[in-house]
Structure 1
């Protein structure tokens, strides 16, 4: 089974000015105080884990800080909108032509068709491949002075959305070394240039004055990586930072109401059961675990009403899903656990997860399982989870983050060749259902096929949806233009900065 690290997203902030919630009257356009803008202080939950490779976990960091951009972005409805590509058109069922806008890389070179084609080619050749390209063969070629022609191995009706992926940032030729390492320092196109990273502690960004979207409001961004949610919230409350992501539910009440910004997201917290080895290789024990879980106790208790009880892989933020949802298919009859021993794992970067896992431990033990709980920082847990060293895992996953296409998370997370298949599920019926969804070109037909595949996946009991999250971001009263979106790809853009409220 092909497995690789993932933790998605990339910036695309300037184009999202009309797409997502932007805190403050100034908006993301820069504004009159851009020339002498002060530096912005940001607290993030996840430190760099893979030398800032755009193909792994760190793509999210690069995106949210306004460092990297892709050809397209997603609007609030999940439709592709222009970023480095000013426009595009479909030439045939497998070929698209993207027309580039005038832009400059942070190393001073021009964003040219050949540079863009080379950057996308590097992504297709990456080992392991980015999640957005799972199961996709893609070839990019320069087309004249402003165009990039992209051809796929089979028809791909969502290609413009796919190219918005966090893992498909466009970087200058200088970024790609002979060793295979990709270096985004000084080679991206976003409004902020990464200039210094101090291990897992901090990072420094300076404003990129030649950004195609205009001069950023802030002169730079000073980042602190604070894994502990209580400490992250305290840093905001005491004025040490201006923005703090992923404020814990338990800490929300310590912030002024105006400082707490709650955003409905496509993030679902699920219990993933190792279907390849251990006790949950038995579908009847998976059914017993699923039956033991009380999701309402999690939504109302752990999340204090800041989440909805799990209904499926896709939650309320995916507005079309509810009306198309189907009953799970082919569930096994639950067996008696009979003191079955299992290891349940989660991570503490998202502070509610250890508490969720503790409640699940109690619920499973009440049903007759013997549960050992293990909590780590995410970067120290992922590789073991991918290798199947845990019997069960509590994971918070944005179901639309890779491409905005709902099929992508199914292919990545629940198929035999899926690169982020933490449930280690390999079911021929599921693979067929996901493949059918991938082939669908009509929007309504594709959505129907996605929900049919969801029903097949839920029928295996390899995944138990727990809650659908609303993310709380701490935004100081002095901050304008924070970019809060349901895909959690953006946070800082050209219009994000501090200043007196108007």
Structure 2
């Protein structure tokens, strides 16, 4: 990605190599400069678990990286209770079943241009044309246009009662016109609106961010962020423990005891680890074999063993952090009777960016083999396996998925992951009854009724045995004792913000 020259001196950016070299890499990044209060503050050193899978495209999985680093924003955000709250839009109102009117706040893009209704409309239009489509737009087509003054009108092809929640999705971040190039590409370097401006990306190893001095929400305390993408969980933990980084996300549960208790933060999240079974091709096209795989899995053993009780046994697509789900959950419907595997060979795959997943996959391999399957296990880095997983190259795939990360709307993940046209359908499920149930939930406006409809759809999905919920995770984040203001939320959309400092 390109580097935009700035008026202040550029800081050296060293490529991440071996863990012992991390101290040298971060030494030049720890220089001090003035913060928002006139005091001297230090740049934040952050270790992230997932290297960019799509060259930091704002539309796919990388959108969450940009959101967590405080680079991008949408029209709305989510509060602690999962409700839509103002971001680039300071207010909104529903005009009818298919139309919403948003009033924009006064804000500036990081390239110095003003945030206007026309530019926001153009950004949302680009998102609708992205391929694959952002998960937040699954099941809906929207049109955005200026509505006079500081107002923007967003119209959907069908009634969408949760549009403000949808627009909070990280993949619907607003970028300046300068960001958009040919072939649907979007470059977030220096074109977003958040408190930190992405100034340089070094492949899949590092990124440099500087404080955006014209941020509408006030000047950030930290003058910048030096981020490193460290896929190895032990290396991330060691970097925090030895003082080479200030914040390290996704600490492996096996490494938790090596950190001082004062540096460990455990957060209940809406993330569910599940076993996705390929329903389109291969052995698991047979629902009876899917049922056999589901019966072979001992989720309690995974929660207590692999996750060392830092997770809860799988109870559904939504876990305990989705507090309303337990009282509304329905029993799965339409399940097939299991058949004996009789040595059926399957390929089971996962990724190692989340260190527990390979271990979980190994335990699953043993459980499935005990039930009569022959299992071939494949583990890669996420960036190198996502495409094959979505293309159905594996019979089974273990994935950790935040069920509310895309919109905060419980129906959105169902539409994205389990419908015929879903953009993140790892199970390649295409079931007419499921599609109808999800569509019914999408049409439901009342919050409580929508939740009930979502859980009715969940029951239908679980009834196909296309997905086996394994565990509901609690995320461990390493935070140095000198750091304040880290943003930890169950949706895993935020990490650093204007108040984060050391």
Q: Equivalent residue for 2:500? A: 496
Give me the whole-angstrom Cα distance separating, in 1, the residues matched to 2:257 and 2:236.
Answer: 14
1:87 and 2:91 are equivalent in the alignment = yes
Local SS of the residue matching 2:42: coil
Q: Equivalent residue for 2:218? A: 214
Greater CA drift, 51-60 or 225-234: 51-60
- Unaligned 5+ runs, structure 2: 1-33
Contact 2:36-2:220 at 8 Å conserved across structures? no
Greater CA drift, 119-128 or 64-73: 119-128
1:277 and 2:293 are equivalent in the alignment = no
Local SS of the residue matching 1:430: helix
Contact 1:73-1:164 at 8 Å conserved across structures? yes
Greater CA drift, 53-62 or 358-367: 53-62
Contact 1:316-1:468 at 8 Å conserved across structures? yes
Local SS of the residue matching 2:164: helix
User: What pairs up with 1:32-51 in 2 under 5 angstroms?
Assistant: 33=37, 36-51=40-55
Local SS of the residue matching 1:136: coil
User: What pairs up with 1:4-403 in 2 under 5 angstroms?
Assistant: 33=37, 36-403=40-407
Contact 2:113-2:176 at 8 Å conserved across structures? yes
Local SS of the residue matching 1:96: strand
User: Structure 2 length as normaliser, TM-score?
Assistant: 0.92
C-alpha displacement of 1:179:
4.2
Q: 1:387 to 1:34 in 2, by over 3 A?
A: farther
Give me the whole-angstrom Cα distance separating, in 2, the residues matched to 1:78 and 1:381.
Answer: 31
C-alpha displacement of 1:180:
2.7
Local SS of the residue matching 2:244: coil
Give me the whole-angstrom Cα distance separating, in 1, the residues matched to 2:35 and 2:196.
Answer: 16
Give me the whole-angstrom Cα distance separating, in 2, the residues matched to 1:474 and 1:99.
Answer: 38
- Work out which of the residue numbers 464, 469, 492 in structure 1 matches 2:468: 464
Local SS of the residue matching 2:239: helix
Contact 2:46-2:246 at 8 Å conserved across structures? yes
Greater CA drift, 429-438 or 175-184: 175-184
User: Structure 1 length as normaliser, TM-score?
Assistant: 0.92
Give me the whole-angstrom Cα distance separating, in 2, the residues matched to 1:344 and 1:407.
Answer: 28
Local SS of the residue matching 1:128: coil
C-alpha displacement of 1:178:
3.5
Give me the whole-angstrom Cα distance separating, in 2, the residues matched to 1:270 and 1:49.
Answer: 21
Q: Equivalent residue for 1:447? A: 451
Contact 2:284-2:395 at 8 Å conserved across structures? yes
Local SS of the residue matching 1:334: coil
Local SS of the residue matching 1:322: coil
Give me the whole-angstrom Cα distance separating, in 2, the residues matched to 1:58 and 1:34.
Answer: 34
C-alpha displacement of 1:230:
0.3
Local SS of the residue matching 1:420: coil
Contact 2:410-2:454 at 8 Å conserved across structures? yes
Give me the whole-angstrom Cα distance separating, in 2, the residues matched to 1:401 and 1:170.
Answer: 17
C-alpha displacement of 1:207:
0.5
Larger RCO (CA within 8 A; separation ≥ 6): 1
Give me the whole-angstrom Cα distance separating, in 2, the residues matched to 1:239 and 1:404.
Answer: 35
**Deviation readout 1:112-171 (Å, 9 max, x if unpaired):** 111111111111122222111112110111111210011111111000000000110111
**Deviation readout 1:459-485 (Å, 9 max, x if unpaired):** 111100000000000000000000001
Give me the whole-angstrom Cα distance separating, in 1, the residues matched to 2:453 and 2:61.
Answer: 29
Contact 1:35-1:217 at 8 Å conserved across structures? no
**Deviation readout 1:341-390 (Å, 9 max, x if unpaired):** 11100000000000000000010111111111110000111111111110
Give me the whole-angstrom Cα distance separating, in 2, the residues matched to 1:126 and 1:282.
Answer: 34
**Deviation readout 1:230-259 (Å, 9 max, x if unpaired):** 000000000000000000000000011111
Local SS of the residue matching 2:365: helix
Give me the whole-angstrom Cα distance separating, in 1, the residues matched to 2:342 and 2:141.
Answer: 47
Greater CA drift, 480-489 or 50-59: 50-59
Q: Equivalent residue for 1:15? A: none
Local SS of the residue matching 1:270: strand
Local SS of the residue matching 2:477: strand
C-alpha displacement of 1:34:
6.0
C-alpha displacement of 1:443:
1.0
Local SS of the residue matching 2:327: helix
- Work out which of the residue numbers 435, 439, 456 in structure 2 matches 1:435: 439
Contact 2:126-2:184 at 8 Å conserved across structures? no
